[in-house]
Chain A
Amino acid sequence: MCRLLAISSDTPVSPMVALNALDVMREGHDGSGVGLFLRGLGGPLEKMKDAPILSGIFTDSGIRKLDEYMLDQGFMTKYKISIKTPKTTPPGIPKRDIYLIRAYEYPEEWEEISDTERFSRLTHIRLSLQAMGNEKKDMIVFSFWPDTVMIKEIGDPLAVGKFLKLGDKDLDARIIMAQGRQNTNYAINLYACHPFFIQGFSTMTNGENTAFVPIREYLISRGEPGYTGFYSDSEVFVHILHYTLTHLNLGIEAYKHVITPLREEALKAHPDGPFLKQLKQSCRKLIIDGPNCVIGVLPDSTMFMAQDRKKLRPGIVGGRPGMYVFSSETCGLDAVLPDRDATADFQPMHTDTVLVKPDRREVTICQQSEPLPHLH
């Protein structure tokens, strides 16, 4: 199993807080990799919220290729955070040339375009860079999006964090998602490391999606260029989330109805039964299976946790107004927020979606049996 920890906080928090909490839960992961998603960035990047930030790992030749490409596209570097690593790498962590976090200035001609077009172009650039990097393995690109930094590396989460000196950097963030990887059925490929990202949506999962192949086939056939990769069976969760919210224009409350719909008897008793039945039927190919605890974040920074239909994985949410933590285990929660009111901790069950909205005032619990909020 993997271990997950996510923080949503009014004030920026160091990513090391999350990595320390992962370390507390180290019995549940094998230190084979770590993934970080940061949003609501503090520090210097806070002042350039709209500038798209490119996150990735590059070789020296890769960075030259990147510069050339980005210049061609009309992007100028606005700000960059360089991660200088010591000459010797600790055991288990591969030697890299450059970990890149770079904010860009949009090309002038982009000023007039719609958000949809901008999102699609940003995705296109990320995918192009990924494809270019795959040729000679000189570029690994995790995200290219405003106010978003992603770091993934092979190795023990805490060791990687210390090695990259993530605590010293201006990378404190209000939204942090971190995953300690338990390497299972796929070779260690950084693109297979959680969290996954598409157009402002990000998810990470502790689990195994046994319905992966039919879901992947379905997503690929949706004609959305961003639905690609699929190095991990968990990558589909973020695509389904994106599909539900952007293609179907539904709310996060409907996500659970797409991935683990209610059974017929429950739908008959549901106030939105007829609608949900239609949704279940037309989204049948997006029904997930197997044990999965999904933690994710939406473009508006709403954070959520949802469990599989049988609630086969651990997951707990707790905190206080201003700061909430989503964790695989209580000990992870304790490590971040020892002084919270633990009696208010909540472990979502098989029909629950737990939300912490951007105002971070409370934990909202949506049960699938409840009516859906009206969307207009």
Chain B
Amino acid sequence: MKHSKLALTLIAAAIGVIGCGEEKKPEPPKVEAPKPPPPPPSIEIKIGSVAPLTGGIAHLGKDNENGVRLAVDEANAAKIKIDGKDAKFVMMGEDDQADPKVGTTVAQKLVDAKVAGVVGHLNSGTSIPASSIYNGAGIPVISGSATNPKLTEQGFKVQFRVVGRDDQQGPAIASYLATNAKPRVVAVIDDATAYGEGLANEVEKTLTAAKIKVLPREKGTDKTTDWKAVLTKLKGKRPDAIFYGGMDATGGPLMKQGRELGIKAVFAFGDGACTDEMSKLAGDAAEGLLCSQAGIPVKAASQKFLDAYKKAFNVDPILYAPFTYDAANMLIDAMKRADSADPAKYLPELAKLSFTGATGKIEFDDKGDRKDAEMTIFTMKGGKIEPIAIIKGGNSMTVDEYLKMAAPAVPAEAPKPAAEPARDEAKK
């Protein structure tokens, strides 16, 4: 009895030792590329991708991650050489559960794993606290979907984003609403997240500036499914339009219950609730919804990207995948130009990069925001959201007009021929 116990303990200990040894060995040499002694024929470059993969917006998170994965897979297939070695890109996909606390933990995990760059996070609420961690470690991070202005207002040199900001998106949907729906009274609701509240604030500002009466703000949470009480209260104030800053999982029930209560107002939403999912969540009630997305519609992304995505994952991209795809490609492109995966070396290249990707031409301004970011207004028609207007630099135009205008601006020089095929797709 005693012997067998001792033996077991020894075996367990041995396994433990072996296990530890195995785990630790490959870690350090992976990233510290320029180390001469064991001259590795290839270097492994880790690119982090952070998005919520569990919880209410996991479908959007997966979409974001797929965008990164596609870019990484393509880069590997292209057999890129960096610093004279074969570069092997590895995506480290992390789940931040859309929770700011988890977001910082995950960010630290990526920093500790010595990633060369990060694409993420999906939410503004997780991106902002995480950004200081990346900044401390000097690791470039590009968000493909966080739209809260604060993210790039912190003066962090490593923080970029390839989508527009709420203070561009909010005014866009608000001015579209003001000129097309001509409401006298508008109710504004948000989900009390950094994203929802920030967007709602911008909408309110623009509406107030346009001399439209805005009712006192109503709030829910990012888990609220029962909006009846709030909507009933609003119904008594007879708004002509209701704007909601929040995601589709909460926005769907909101719109459905609003129509059930006999509210006839126009419903307008931000990009978080600007998905086809809305028609499933709200049923027929979703018809006529107005919503905005930072950037261009998924449909208007380059055909090459759309085909490659469909082929790789057997689904269509939902929302931000073209942006995270571009973000990952920009990291890789900057590394290629700097001929180094060392963040300190390729960061200056990234900041001045002029890149044409799936979402058109991308250049960063001093803050790390995308220059001249477009906003798109959609409406729900027959269960699908359809782009009805693209707003660029304060001007509203239809999608066809935009594509006509954008076409000559996109030369075929860059790694990806962008807008040419996209135009045909969008016209269908």
Q: Is the pairing of A and B real?
A: no
A interface residues (Cβ-Cβ under 8 A, vs B): none
